Amino acid sequence: MKIFETITETQLYLQKNKNDKNKIGFVPTMGALHQGHLNLVKQAKSENDIVVVSIFVNPIQFNNEEDLLKYPRTLQKDADLLQKVGCYIIFAPNEKEIYPEPDTTIYNFGLLDKVMEGKFRPGHFNGVAIVVKKLFDIVMPDNAYFGEKDYQQLQIIKSLVKQMNIPVNIIPCPIVREVDGLAMSSRNMRLTDEERKVAPFIYQILLQAKGKMNKLSPKEITQWVNRQIEIQPLLRMEYFEVVNATTLLPISNWDDCEHAIGCIAVFLGNIRLIDNINLI
Ligand code: PAF
């Protein structure tokens, strides 16, 4: 496995592979890897000739300074994990390599980046789009793998690829959960023991909400989920919404769309967690 820090050496190595017509699979990450990331790498391995994983904590997608400072940086441990699953290349640039000068591009995603995460984290998705576009330009992958836990991010990336005509297939991969149901996230390692015990409750509520679809409307389910979160002293609701899985706009009736999902963001202590569940 090779670890490259510069764009030049990464591109030089990848060019050889492109000349040999090798298919390149790409998994962009911010490091602090867990089984969810490793599953993306495994899937990429099974569908491509070589796999590139980028590890870059992208400062411009954080709208909370403390979150950026506290984001776990565990490059050596990440590299060991990636070696074990057979990753070929890690691209781990520093900030100057990616942003030799500030990038002020403003993307237009219509309403996709205004709802849910976009409402509470203004500028976040523009920062994600800027870095993902740069990474795609550097790696020029055939296939790129993204987890469905960040469901809204996935829709934004699909829209980015479409509007910028980037020749890459975006491959969504299912959420990976701990045995108790908690969606895997790099933030989980920052939970206290007490918070960690409460965390699985989030997915339990989503499952129970799904079980109530026959009796309750999307609005009633939303009210029910809000009440469940309220009665847990350690949890604080940011939002729960039942949305059309393509437009991400809230639905009023179950037959408003073919595919609806329930998306949630909650604070557990100081840690903000997101999750989602397929409803129809
Ligand atoms: O999902 C993430 O880890 C990040 O948002 C991404 C896609 C690597 C961009 O920094």
Question: What is the rounded (10 degree) CA torsion for 257, 262, 263, 267?
Answer: 160
Distance 280 CA to ligand 1 centre (A): 27
* Residue 178, pLDDT above cutoff 90: yes
- Residue range(s) defining the domain that contains residue 51: 2-173
In terms of domains, do 7 and 73 share one?
A: yes
Return the axis-axis angle of helices 218-230 and 201-211, rounded to nearest 10°. Answer: 150
- Number of domains the chain is built from: 2
Structural domain contains residue 30: yes
What pLDDT score was predicted for residue 123? 95
112 band by pLDDT with thresholds 50, 70 and 90: very high
Residues 8-14 have a mean pLDDT of 97
Let me know whether 45 and 134 are in one domain: yes
Ligand 1 atom at minimal distance to the Cα of residue 132: 9
Give pLDDT tens digits for 187-226. Answer: 999 999 999 999 999 999 999 999 999 999 999 999 999 9
User: What pTM value is reported for the model?
Assistant: 0.96
Report whether 93 contacts 7 (CB < 8 A): yes
In a domain, 178, yes or no: no
Give the CA radius of gyration of the chain: 19
Q: How many angstroms does the Cα of residue 215 sit away from the middle of ligand 1?
A: 37
Q: Is 37 a catalytic residue?
A: yes
* pLDDT confidence tier of residue 64, bands split at 50, 70 and 90: confident
Instruction: Tell me the average pLDDT of the chain.
Output: 96
* Cα–ligand 1 centroid distance for 128 (angstroms): 6
Residue 180 located in a structural domain: no
- pLDDT exceeds 90 at position 87: no
246: Cα within 13 Å, side-chain hemisphere: 4
Check whether residue 96 and residue 136 sit in a common domain: yes
In this structure, are 207 and 242 located in the same domain?
A: yes
For 41, counting Cβ atoms within 10 Å of its Cβ (0-12 exposed, 13-18 middle, 19+ buried), the class is buried
Length reported for the chain:
280
Residues within a 6 A CB radius of ligand 1: 28-30, 58, 61, 128, 131-132, 150, 153
Question: Residue 257: its pLDDT value, please?
Answer: 93
